[in-house]
Amino acid sequence: QEYRLQKVVKCENDWSSACFPLVAGAIGKKVTVQGLNLTSVQGDKTILEVLKDTGARVKLSKNKVIVFGGEKKGFSVNIEHAPDLAPVLSVLASDCKGESKIFGVERLKIKESDRIKAILETLNKAGIQASYNGEYLKIIGNEPKRADYDGFNDHRIVMSAVLLSSLAGGVSTVSDANAVDKSYPSFYKDIRRLG
């Protein structure tokens, strides 16, 4: 049976992948991400509100987002409809002054890894206080230390551990580095470009 494409549909760029360079801008040097639909209904667009809530500077224009850091305060967010944000938000929370709470994380246990366990282990290895009480993740911001991280063969955990290690002094390692190929094959090239 022959199928013919009746209509060409252009897919939006992915807010989920864009969250990593946007958070990199908030915790490091200024970052510009182009090609994002600012009226998107993708749940991960929530990252913009979280970044603003922390005090990071966010500038928007047509299809461009510019983020740069500064002193950031803790935040509280419910990610029930954007669970993929949890790993990168845990890194952002690490760089915020005070306590952050991430609600709506129950589904994280059944992702590519048990992401609640993976986030807690990653942060604790870096010397960041983090806990889960069955309702939310609580993270106390602090300067992370270098560590050897387990990537849990999970692309978002690997990318988050790489961002976290960029905040720490010394050399860190992250296992399962190739897991990023699942969603963001150019991640390392882009991170190197950010310095």
- Positive or negative torsion for Cα 117, 119, 120, 124: positive
84 is catalytic: yes
Q: Taking CA 56 as the corner, what is the angle to CA 50 and CA 60, rounded to the nearest 5 degrees?
A: 80
Query: In what helix (H) or strand (E) does residue 140 lie, and over which residues does it extend?
Result: strand 136-140
- CA-based R_g, the chain, Å: 17
Q: How far apart are CA 18 and CA 10, in angstroms?
A: 18
Residue spans of alpha helices (H) in the chain:
15-27, 47-54, 86-94, 115-125, 155-167, 187-193
Residue that the structure tokens 């360079």 belong to: 21
What does the alpha-carbon distance between residue 136 and residue 116 come to, in Å, rounded to a whole number? 10
With beta carbons less than 8 A apart as the criterion, state whether 139 and 130 touch.
yes
Indicate which residue of 44, 84, 95, 150 is catalytic. 84
Q: What are the φ/ψ torsions at residue 80 (nearest 5 degrees)?
A: -50, -35
Active-site positions? 84
